């Protein structure tokens, strides 16, 4: 459009007239040249990123949802790009696991059902490999920059004791959580039912997770996170996916989702981080759960993750962290969404099932049998549970306790509604 307007002034490409006109026309004709220089440079950066992330595969599996799962040799995974892991020997099993039965499976199984990953329908990865969701060019291009791909934004951890409540919604992140603090924690566990919340805009997400936190809510906060999420910007669709995250500086320069940076060492050949899970819970119908356990190996000091009752996925090496080298100072369980709407109007992005806690089982999202790992490496019920949400009219949380579910809570909501305009 600008070129059409300026064409008569510039004489169809021949610069004429005053010095001011000459400068203006010269800049105009440089615009296409600059654009054509930027695009190849960006494309080159993207290709380098893809080469770094997508390791050579011994086998590739096409998932029904369009993902490609690459079976990569365990010693060639992204973790070993980290300079401190160059000569690392993979720890194939944790030295210790938390003691104590975490829940009565016979009582839980009558109400909820187990879950798996969609790509399993088309194959499995062989022993000695790990499954990695292949990163595509369009995945990286959706990010604001190549460097920011696979990373959360700063200030996305709920800060229930913040002296300035407005900080909690800075950046548009909102939460409905329960939490414990005031002790030393060496892990956490929960059974979480899985939903497919509706996302209003591609740059928003909805997730349900456990946070293992060390330090204060400053620029050096350590966090290990695991759960399920729907994130169109990160994955390019609205599928519900298993995910992990870690950071040692409050999301500034360290850490990433899943295996999108060096750090987490995966040992399991059956579960792919970032891959979709199925089936999904239905409103008023069957409920499907995932079990997540994160704990600190008291001998080696690494933080391990288990998915379900049998899949030990791998570990975050202790050296990645500062505060979490010793223990966690806070545990949080619950939901998070991004509200990118302008001030005065709330997003309609759903948290959990998209329904408020008061609707109960089969309709609202829940965490059940929430537990912590104590200094004796025992799983036990947490003490001093508190709740937190920024806007309870948009997303809320209600906790309780009973014999079958132990300590549990319902949480979530629809976002924008008559009481949350």
Q: Catalytic: 359?
A: no
Residue 236 lies in a domain: yes
Q: Among positive and negative, which fits the CA dihedral 41, 42, 45, 51?
A: negative
pLDDT recorded at residue 21: 46
Same domain, 97 and 228: yes
**Do 100 and 205 reside in the same domain of the chain?**
yes
Residue 349 falls inside a structural domain: yes
- Model pLDDT, residue 156: 60
Shared domain check, 326 and 221: yes
Read off the pTM.
0.87
In a domain, 419, yes or no: no
Look at residue 217 and tell me if it is in a domain. yes
pLDDT confidence of residue 165 = 37
Backbone φ, ψ for residue 365 (5° rounding):
-75, 155
pLDDT computed for residue 113 by the predictor: 66
135 located within any domain: yes
CA pseudo-torsion sign 315, 311, 78, 247: negative
Do 65 and 27 lie in a common domain?
no
Of 17, 43, 85, 37, nearest to 266 by C-alpha is: 85
Which of 204, 332, 336, 390 is flagged as catalytic? Answer: 336
Query: Which of 46, 62, 78 marks a domain boundary?
Result: 46
Q: What is the DSSP-derived secondary structure letter of residue 88?
A: P
For the residues of 350-393, what is the DSSP string, one character each?
Answer: -BTTSS-GGG-TTTSEEEEEEEEE-TTSBEE--SS-EEEES-TT
120 and 150 assigned to the same domain: yes
DSSP state of 66: S
Residues 119 and 146 in one domain: yes
- Does 417 fall in a domain? no
**63-80: pLDDT as tens digits:** 999 999 999 999 999 999
Q: Which helix (H) or strand (E) is 338 found in, with range?
A: strand 328-338
Give the integer Cα–Cα distance in Å for 259 and 37: 31
Residues 144 and 25 in one domain: no
- Tell me the sheet residues that pair with 182: none
Annotation marks residue 181 as catalytic: no
Specify whether 75 is located in the same domain as 25.
Answer: no
Biggest alpha carbon–alpha carbon distance for the chain: 87
What is the distance between the alpha carbons of residues 208 and 225, in angstroms, rounded to a whole number?
10
pLDDT digits over 394-405, tens only?
A: 999 999 999 999
Nearest to 366 by CA among 394, 330, 403, 400: 400
80, 223: one domain:
yes
The per-residue b/e assignment along 121-140, b for 16 or more CB within 10 angstroms, e otherwise, is eeeebeeebbbbbbbbeebb
Q: What pLDDT does residue 104 have?
A: 40
Residue 420 lies in a domain: no
> What residues form DSSP beta bridges with 366?
410
Q: Does one domain contain both 231 and 285?
A: yes
pLDDT at 101: 60
Residue ranges in the chain whose pLDDT is less than 70: 1-39, 101-113, 154-157, 161-171
Q: Which of 45, 204, 219, 225 is flagged as catalytic?
A: 225
User: What's the number of domains the chain is made of?
Assistant: 2
- In this prediction, residue 343 carries a pLDDT of 75
Return the structure tokens found at 5: 């307007």
Alpha helices in 70-201 (DSSP H): 105-108, 137-142
Kindly provide the residue ranges of all beta strands, DSSP E only, lying in 67-140, ordered along the sequence: 68-73, 116-117, 129-133
What is the domain extent for residue 251? 54-412
For the stretch 133-185, pLDDT in tens is 999 999 999 998 999 999 987 656 677 764 333 334 445 889 999 999 999 99
* pLDDT at residue 167 in the model: 37
């Amino acid at each position: 459009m600008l070129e059409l307007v300026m064409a008569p002034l510039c004489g169809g490409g021949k610069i004429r007239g005053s010095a001011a006109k000459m400068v203006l026309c010269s800049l105009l004709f440089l615009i296409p040249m600059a654009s054509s220089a930027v695009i190849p440079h960006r494309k080159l950066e993207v290709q380098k990123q893809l080469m770094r992330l997508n390791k050579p595969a011994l086998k590739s599996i096409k998932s029904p949802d369009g993902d490609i799962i690459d079976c990569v040799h365990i010693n060639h995974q992204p973790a070993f790009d980290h300079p401190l892991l160059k000569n690392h020997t993979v720890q194939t099993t944790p030295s210790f696991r938390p003691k104590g039965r975490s829940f009565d499976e016979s009582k839980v199984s009558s109400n909820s059902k187990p879950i798996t990953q969609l790509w399993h329908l088309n194959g499995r990865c062989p022993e000695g490999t790990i499954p990695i969701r292949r990163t595509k060019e369009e995945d990286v291009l959706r990010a604001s920059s190549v460097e920011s791909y696979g990373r959360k934004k700063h200030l996305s951890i709920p800060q229930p004791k913040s002296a300035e409540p407005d900080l909690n919604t800075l950046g548009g992140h909102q939460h409905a959580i329960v939490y414990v603090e005031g002790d030393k924690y060496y892990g956490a566990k929960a059974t979480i039912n899985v939903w497919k919340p509706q996302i209003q805009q591609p740059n928003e997400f909805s997730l349900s997770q456990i946070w293992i936190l060390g330090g204060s809510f400053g620029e050096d906060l350590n966090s290990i996170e695991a759960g399920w999420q729907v994130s169109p910007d990160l994955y390019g669709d609205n599928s519900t996916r298993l995910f992990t995250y870690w950071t040692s500086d409050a999301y500034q320069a360290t850490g990433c989702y899943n295996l999108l940076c060096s750090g987490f060492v995966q040992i399991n050949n059956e579960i792919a981080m970032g891959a979709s899970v199925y089936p999904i819970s239905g409103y008023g119908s069957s409920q499907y759960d995932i079990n997540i356990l994160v704990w600190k190996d008291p001998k080696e000091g690494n933080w391990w993750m288990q998915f379900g009752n049998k899949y030990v996925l791998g570990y975050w090496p202790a050296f990645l962290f500062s505060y979490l080298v010793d223990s966690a100072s806070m545990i949080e369980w619950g939901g998070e969404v991004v509200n990118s709407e302008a001030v005065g109007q709330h997003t309609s992005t759903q948290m959990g099932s998209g329904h408020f806690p008061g609707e109960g089982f089969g309709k609202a999202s829940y965490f059940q049998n929430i537990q912590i790992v104590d200094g004796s490496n025992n799983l036990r019920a947490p003490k001093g549970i508190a709740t937190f949400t920024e806007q309870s009219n948009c997303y809320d949380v209600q906790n309780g306790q009973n014999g079958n579910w132990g300590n549990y809570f319902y949480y979530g909501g629809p976002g924008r509604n008559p009481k949350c305009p």
